Structure 1
Amino acid sequence: MAFDVDLFVIGGGSGGVRAARIAAEAGARVALAEEYRMGGTCVIRGCVPKKLFVYASAFADAFEDARGFGWTVEGARFDWPRFRAARDAEIARLEAAYRSRLAKAGVTLHDCRATVADPHRVRLADGREVSASHILIATGGWPVRPEVPGADLAITSNEVFELAGQPKSVAIVGGGYIACEFAGILNGLGTRVTQIYRGPQILRGFDDEVRAHVADAMRSRGVVLELGRDIARIEPVGAEKRIVLTNGESHVVEHVLLATGRAPNTHGLGLEAAGVALGRNGAVKVGDWSQSSVPSIYAVGDVTDRIALTPVAIREGQAFARTVFAAEPTRVDHALIATAVFTQPEIGTVGLTEAEARARGPVAIARTAFRPMLNVLAHRDERMLMKLVLEAGSERVLGVHIVGHGAGEMIQLAAVAVGMGATKADFDRTVAVHPTAAEELVTLPAPVEG
C-alpha cells in the first residue's frame, strides 16, 4: 500500500518536533499536526516561561542582598505586565524557530487537531485524512483537577502564565515540583503564598533530607506550608475565593492554583478504537523502542508516563526516529537521569536517594551543609546542602543531591561522573575550584556508614 507520508506526528512539543526533524533529515516524508502552538508545554506554558519567572523572582533576593555588598537600591518594584510582554515575545521567537527548523527539514505542518482513525490513518479537524506508514503520538500531559466542589474556580499551571496582573494572594494546592516552584516564584515576586499539601512533607520521591531542607528554607522565606491538609471545596467570596480544607480551616485568597499532578493527554485521540493499549491513567503503553501495542503506532514523552521531563522526551523522539528511519537502532536509558527543580533554593539531583539506596544494600553518606560566601555579607542564614550517597565498601557514588544557588548547573556535570561509575575517591582527587560553592563536592568529609 502506498502511504501519503512515512511518518505522521501528532503533537508539536519537544519530543514530537525532534522526532519529525530527525526523520525528515533521514529522508522520510513527514507531517506534523499541532492544535495549539508549536513548542508544546515546555516552550509555551512550562519549562521556558517558568524559568523566566524564576529569574524574575530571584531579583528580589539580589536587591536585598546587594545592600550587604555596599549597594544602595531604592525604589525597585516588579511590573508584571512589562515582564509578561517580554516573556511572550521570547516564547513567540522560540515558536517561530521551531517552525523554521521543521520547514527547513521539509516537514509538512498542520495547525489543527489530529486524531487516529486507524493504525495507518490520521484524521484532521478539517475532515481531511492522511495515511501514514508510521504514526507517532507526542501529545504530552495535561493538568489534573481534583474532583472537589468549585474546582473550576481555580487555575492550573496552564492558566497561571496568562494572568493579567500579579495576584496579591494565592493558595497553591499540591506538594510536587510544580507547586513548590510556583510557591517560590510568586513569593519572591511579593505575592502572599499559602501552599497546601495532603502529605506529611513536600516533594515526594526526592531525598528526604533534601525535602526537609527545602521546606525549612521555603518557610524562612515566607511561604506558609500547610502540610497534612487536604482540600474539601472552593467557593467564591466576591472577587476572591475561599478554599476550605477537610479539617475545617479555610483561606480567602485572590487565586487558587491547583498543582495536583498531570496526566497523559490521550483523551479523544481515538487510540483505544485503533487498538492501542492504554494504562490506568491514559498513558500509552510502550516497550523499550517506544512502540505501542499496535506495531505502526509509537509514542514518546509525557504521554507515555515514563519520565516527564523535556530532555527525556527529546531523547526518546530522537531515538525513535533514528531507529525507524535512519537504520540506527537506539534505545533510551531511563535509569540515570539528572534533574533540577527550580524551587527557592533550587535542587539538583541525580541517581538514588538515600532511602532507595538503603533498600538495595549497605550505604555510606558524605554530606555537608554550609553557609555559602554569597550569603555571608548579605546576612542571609540560608545554607546549602551537598550530599553523596555511596555504596558501602567501594564508595561508588549512587546519588548526588545539591540544594542551593546553582544546584541545577552543578548537577549536569555531576551526572557525567555518576554515569561513569565515579567513586568518592575520584571526587576527592579532583582539585577544587576556589572560591566556589561547587568545590564542596570534592572536599566532602569522610563518609559515614550505617
Structure 2
Amino acid sequence: MSHTNKLKIFNDPIYGFITIPNELVFDLIQHPYFQRLRRISQMGMSYLVYPGAHHTRFHHALGALHLMQKAVEVLRFKGVSISSDEETALYVAIMLHDIGHGPFSHAMEHSIVEHIHHEELSLLFMNELNILFEGKLDLAIQIFKGEYKRKFMLQLISSQLDMDRMDYLKRDSFYSGVAEGNINSDRLIQMLHVVDEQLVLEEKAIYSIEKFLMARRLMYWQAYLHKTSLVAEIILTKTLKRAKELVSKGILVPCSEPLQFFLNPINRESFDRSVLQKFALLDDYDIMSALKGWQFHSDFILSSLSKMIINRDLPKVKLHTEKFDKMDIQKLRNEISSLYQISNSEVDYFLFKGKIKTLAYNKEKEPIKIIRKDKKIEDVEVYSEQLNSKAFSKPMTKYYLCYPKVLELNNQF
C-alpha cells in the first residue's frame, strides 16, 4: 500500500471539492481495479452525438461517493444512527458499485462476456478486493448484496432514487450539454429520512422528485437512447461478434492481448479468478485500438463495421411507434445481399431491428416513499398528480430499423 499523504481532495466540475473520507477509501481508489475506471466511458458511444460526453466511470464513482457523504451527514443530523463501520461500508459500496463495467460501459455489456451483468462482475471485483484488504469490505459487500438488516442502506445505493442515479443524471447532463437532465441533488438529499429502516423523503420534496423522474425520462430519450448512440452501440457489438466469428474459424484478428483472450468463448461458468484478472486489463483503449486496425482487415464485414465507428459513418436509423412491415424488411435484405455480395445470414450485420422501452417510474420496483406531515407514508405516485399521468405510469415503446444509408433513396418508410 502507498505511504503517501492520504488526506486528498479531488476538484470536480459538478460539486467542487470532493474529500476522501478515510484511508481505506483512498487505498481502494489507488488500486489498479479502480484506476481502470479512468479508461471506461460513462456514456458509451454517446460522444458521437454529444462531443463533450467523454467523462468516465471514475468521475461517476467519485461523484456518487460525494453524494453518499452528504446523505450520511443529513441522516445523522435527523437522528438516524449510522455507525462508523456502516458509514465506511456505504462509501465503499457506492464507490465500487460500477467497478464491473467493461469497455464503453453498457454498450458492450454481454458482448465481451455473454450473459454476465456488470453488477455480477462488480461483486466479483469486490470479493477479490476484500481478500486483498483482509476482510475490510465484508459489510460493504453485505449491503451491496441486500443482505444487511438495515434496508435503507441498500436503497441509498440501488433504488429508483439513489446516489448512483442522482450523480449520473447530473453528471451526464453536464458533460453532454442536455440541460433537461439537470437535477437538484442537494434538495433531494436534504429531504431524505429513514422510517422503520426504510428510506423515505419528506413531503416538501415532491416537486424535486417529479423533476428528478422527468429529467431521467428526458435523458433516456435525448441521450441514452438517442438513435445515433443506439446504432453506434449496436454496430460496436456486431463488430466484436464478427471478430469472434472469424477467430472461431481460425482467421487472424490482431488486437491487444486482453481483447484477444475475450475473442474466445467465455461464459459465466468459466469466469474464474484468472479470467477476472484478464478482464481487469480490458478497457476502451483496447477496443478503439482494435477498431483502428480492423478497418483495414481483409474481411469485408469486419472492415466495414470498424470504419463505421472510426469515421462516424453510421447506418440510417428509423424510429416508429409501430412495428416495421416484414415485406419492406425483406426487400432491404435482398438489396443488401445483392449490393455487398454477402450471404443472407451476413446481412444481419448491416440490417437489424428491435425495440426500446422506458418507464419513468415503476411503483413495483423499490418504490419511492413519501412521509407526510401527519407521519403517514405513501407511494410517491399516489401523492403526485404528475406521476399519475400516462407519461410516467405507462412504458413508452419505440421500434427501430437500421440499414445502410446507400439504400435510403430507394426506400421510404
- TM-score > 0.5, shorter chain as reference: no
The TM-score range, normalised by the shorter chain, is under 0.3
Instruction: Please give the TM-score of this superposition, normalised by the length of structure 1.
Output: 0.24
Output the TM-score relative to the length of structure 2.
0.25
Structure with a larger share of its residues in strand: 1
